[in-house]
Structure 1
Amino acid sequence: MNNQQPVPFTGYQKIVIFLLAITQFTVILDFMVMSPLGDILMKSLNLKPSAFGIAVSAYAFSAGISGLLTAGFADKFDRKKLLLFFYIGFIAGTVFCGLAQSYAVLVAARIITGLFGGVIGSISMAIITDLFALQQRGRVMGFVQMGFGGSQVLGVPIGLYLANAWGWEAPFWMVAALSSCIAVGVAIKLQPVVQHLSIKTDKSAFKHLLHTVSKSNYRVGFAATALLSIGGFMMMPFGSAFAVNNLGLTNQQLPILFMVSGVCSLIIMPLVGKLSDKISKFKIFAAASVWMMVMCVLYTNLGITAFPIVIVYNILMMMGIMSRMIPSSALTSAIPDMADRGAFMGINSSLQQIAGGVAAAVAGLIVTQPSKGAPLQNYNVVGYLIVIISVLSIFLMMRVDKLAKKKADNSKITIPEETAFLEL
């Protein structure tokens, strides 16, 4: 895994990377936009932090449940058809969010969106694992995860601008319109992904799910993903409310903050992807985790702070977050066998979403706000919890790294045969 020559991408692989990256952009944007809309939503609908935490976690919990329900079927269908089915459902749910006019309807809309949107990431991961060698996946993850940075550079700032101009519903209409165009592109350009269907199995969907969960190596990957998600989601829901009410930013400054942080993410992610294919993925993950822990503690203890300093803090914190996401995703993707990839990715994505929902709900219970517009309290406690969870994550990811190396040594992977047809 160390100091290997990067395996080049074929022309079709580049198209696949683009399609998956832009699909992820819209799904991540739909989820990400809830955080910057937090302050507007809490004031518009007169919500307490705990109620807003539920609104955020509703998507995550429904996405997790959906992933578990579909994991057993994930390896029994053309992955392209699955992707399109759930993406169209995601678009419908996002439209429902734009139509919501009350807290109860908004929560229901988020549940529907999560039922479909939460499965898309796992399907994309299964496609990546089918079509790309392990030596390529760090770079692929770097590009696909650019959806996260792209949502901050373009989506979130534009969404906030639309929300300030036409109300909090406007960003959801923007996501629905953009996603509809992308769905057409996926339908036309992505070829069927069916090679996994050649591996015959007599297992029912439920038995396939149990078979996947029963493997001890897989459970190590699941546990690592869950811990990473808890640490990653805890600060997110109240990020904008903390910036406005504690750091002294205005709602007009928020789009700039997210845009600058996003631009830096777009620069960082491909570089981290390349490094993770050349150097030890685990070492990059561990170093990034320590960096993120330090920045989280410093940031969550800030008071009224000058806008340029807040931007610097966000950039430094984003460096740590992004630099651990990419190598951890690449390492986890190496664990499942080909016949189990769809189910593994489905369960993995479900646990990621459920853990994120738990994190958002717990953060909502920890963080308090005495009155509308008052500074948030106990946000620094969330930062300390992230440190504890991140330390545990490092030890679990160390086990994932050992499992990935052992599997690579046993199979003596260079370029998997399943990618050979892409050269045609």
Structure 2
Amino acid sequence: MEQSSTNTILPFSNYQKLVIALLALLQFTIVLDFMVLAPLGDYLMKSLAITPKGFGLVVSSYAFSAGASGILAAGFADKFDRKKLLLFFYIGFIVGTLGCALSTTYYMLLGARIITGLFGGVIGAISMTIMADLFEVNQRGRVMGYVQMAFAASQVLGIPVGLYFANLWGWHSSFLMIVALAVVVAIFIIVKIKPIDKHLALQSDKSAFLHLWHAVSNKSYQTGFIATAFLSIGGFMLMPFSSAFLINNIKITPHQLPMVFMFTGIASIIVMPLIGKLSDKVDKFMLFTAGSALAIVMILIYTNLAAIPLWQVVVINMVLFMGVMSRMIPATTLTMSIPDMKDRGAFMSVNSSLQQMAGGIAALCAGLIVTQKSNTSPLENYGILGLVVSVVIAICCFFVYRVSVMVKKKQANAVESLPKEEFQLSEV
């Protein structure tokens, strides 16, 4: 009975469609700010004389600062209107990204990434909290599918355009492009989004620290935290060195690089809504497991590639990202179903924080595993990195399974607690 009610596809209202569109655009700017760092990696390493270890620190500095701000914000995350909280951190993110655009030395860039991480790292958590507040359980897979299209769109539009700007006017212009777009998105959020404050009536903890403690000490929440941390490690390990690997190992030219990301993004844009809809219809853990198996196979192939034709690189990247994104949507949808409404802001903030810190550690570890004799020589030990990431993905499956069991039990209890008349109506 519960299965039939949870698999009913609910349509979106016009306002919900607007919220999805704005959250997707917002996520596009956040994702692009992080993802453009990878294809710009070769430019930055050569322009600012950065070693692989130093570049790993640039990437991880964002993650660690984001992790710290997530913990600090968690106690207050359920104390304010979510719209105001979102705007506060988004404006800070814009300022940090502008700092990246104006950087002229390695240390300036490092400082700007720390500021960007302090604000940008919390935005994903606030966005997911808003999704959980405004959308039913059997709508969230589709919402995540559309919002996660930001990853694909950043590859189809953002990264190629960013690389085009970098080739034309230097890498600084890529960050300026993000700033301009983010300002427009912020204006639309101010004008179009209504206050999101229903959770304020449910608050019982007067102390922000006490509210944080209740979130981190909840054993069910802890399982979700661990699952999300493992989920993020693989991406943070492989992504920072993707452009350097393609250019120096696969012998892709800087002018061919945008094409690789563009076609990969096109494939992801097609797949993401399908995965989101499928996630609302079938068992989310089984979908996650299938995506994990595909990701492991493709990672082992990708990280051991030698010089091959461009079209083969494009195909392998496309299939690899399909596997990665097929993991992200069902896993994230499951995780956001764990907390109660009164704890969602704190849970999502802590969850995002641990995700970022785990990713930061992963980026540092990747910088220690991967070596490069000079800034034009091939990366070494990338195949070993692929093996490490594959093992992490397998471990992650265990924790996501535990999350899946908890969510199913929670949904079953919720249905049992409904009055008989309401239960019969939900089945219809």
TM-based fold match above 0.5: yes
In 2, the alpha carbon distance for the partners of 1:226 and 1:160 equals 30
- Of 51, 71, 82, which aligns to 2:85? 82
**Amino acid aligned to 1:139:** R
1:285-296 alignment, distance < 5 Å = 285-296=288-299
1:364-403 alignment, distance < 5 Å = 364-403=367-406
In 1, the alpha carbon distance for the partners of 2:45 and 2:235 equals 22
Q: CA RMSD in A?
A: 1.2
Alignment partner, residue 161 of structure 2: 158
1:38 maps to 2:41: yes
Q: Give the TM-score taking structure 2 as reference length.
A: 0.96
Compute the displacement of 1:2 (Å).
5.0
In 2, the alpha carbon distance for the partners of 1:360 and 1:163 equals 24
1:160-239 alignment, distance < 5 Å = 160-239=163-242
In 2, the alpha carbon distance for the partners of 1:203 and 1:341 equals 16
SS in 2 for 1:34: coil
Alignment partner, residue 270 of structure 1: 273
In 2, the alpha carbon distance for the partners of 1:135 and 1:175 equals 33
Deviations 1:343-395 (A, max 9, x none): 00000011111111111111011000011200000011110001110111001
Alignment partner, residue 69 of structure 1: 72
Alignment partner, residue 262 of structure 2: 259
1:132-147 alignment, distance < 5 Å = 132-147=135-150
- Of 308, 331, 335, which aligns to 2:334? 331
In 2, the alpha carbon distance for the partners of 1:316 and 1:236 equals 15
1:124 maps to 2:140: no
SS in 2 for 1:334: coil
- Of 308, 317, 320, which aligns to 1:317? 320
In 2, the alpha carbon distance for the partners of 1:184 and 1:413 equals 44
Q: Is the 8 A contact 1:2 1:280 kept in 2?
A: no
Compute the displacement of 1:5 (Å).
2.2
In 2, the alpha carbon distance for the partners of 1:384 and 1:136 equals 36
Q: Is the 8 A contact 1:97 1:109 kept in 2?
A: yes
Alignment partner, residue 105 of structure 2: 102
SS in 2 for 1:370: coil
Compute the displacement of 1:133 (Å).
0.6
Alignment partner, residue 51 of structure 2: 48
**Amino acid aligned to 1:281:** K
**Amino acid aligned to 1:273:** G
Deviations 1:295-346 (A, max 9, x none): 0001100111110000000001011001010000100011001110000000
Q: Is the 8 A contact 1:59 1:110 kept in 2?
A: yes
Compute the displacement of 1:232 (Å).
2.0
- Of 21, 26, 29, which aligns to 1:23? 26
In 2, the alpha carbon distance for the partners of 1:5 and 1:82 equals 32
**Amino acid aligned to 1:206:** F
- The runs of at least 4 aligned residues of structure 1 exceeding 2 Å deviation read none
1:6-17 alignment, distance < 5 Å = 6-17=9-20
**Amino acid aligned to 1:14:** K
Compute the displacement of 1:200 (Å).
3.1
SS in 2 for 1:373: coil
In 2, the alpha carbon distance for the partners of 1:412 and 1:47 equals 56
In 1, the alpha carbon distance for the partners of 2:92 and 2:8 equals 41
In 2, the alpha carbon distance for the partners of 1:25 and 1:200 equals 32
Aligned identity (percent) is 57
Alignment partner, residue 418 of structure 1: none
Q: Is the 8 A contact 1:2 1:279 kept in 2?
A: no
**Amino acid aligned to 1:261:** T
Q: Is the 8 A contact 2:205 2:211 kept in 1?
A: no
**Amino acid aligned to 1:15:** L
In 1, the alpha carbon distance for the partners of 2:206 and 2:52 equals 45
Task: Quickly say closer, same or farther: Cα 1:162–1:270, change in 2 above 3 A.
Answer: same
In 2, the alpha carbon distance for the partners of 1:359 and 1:171 equals 25
Alignment partner, residue 406 of structure 1: 409
In 2, the alpha carbon distance for the partners of 1:123 and 1:365 equals 32
In 2, the alpha carbon distance for the partners of 1:29 and 1:143 equals 16
SS in 2 for 1:386: helix
Where does the alignment leave 5 or more consecutive residues of structure 1 unmatched? 416-424
Alignment partner, residue 347 of structure 2: 344
**Amino acid aligned to 2:343:** D
Q: Is the 8 A contact 2:66 2:353 kept in 1?
A: yes
SS in 2 for 1:305: coil
Task: Quickly say closer, same or farther: Cα 1:352–1:414, change in 2 above 3 A.
Answer: farther
Number of residue pairs aligned between Structure 1 and Structure 2: 415
In 2, the alpha carbon distance for the partners of 1:29 and 1:414 equals 43
Where does the alignment leave 5 or more consecutive residues of structure 2 unmatched? 419-428
Q: Give the TM-score taking structure 1 as reference length.
A: 0.96
In 2, the alpha carbon distance for the partners of 1:135 and 1:202 equals 30
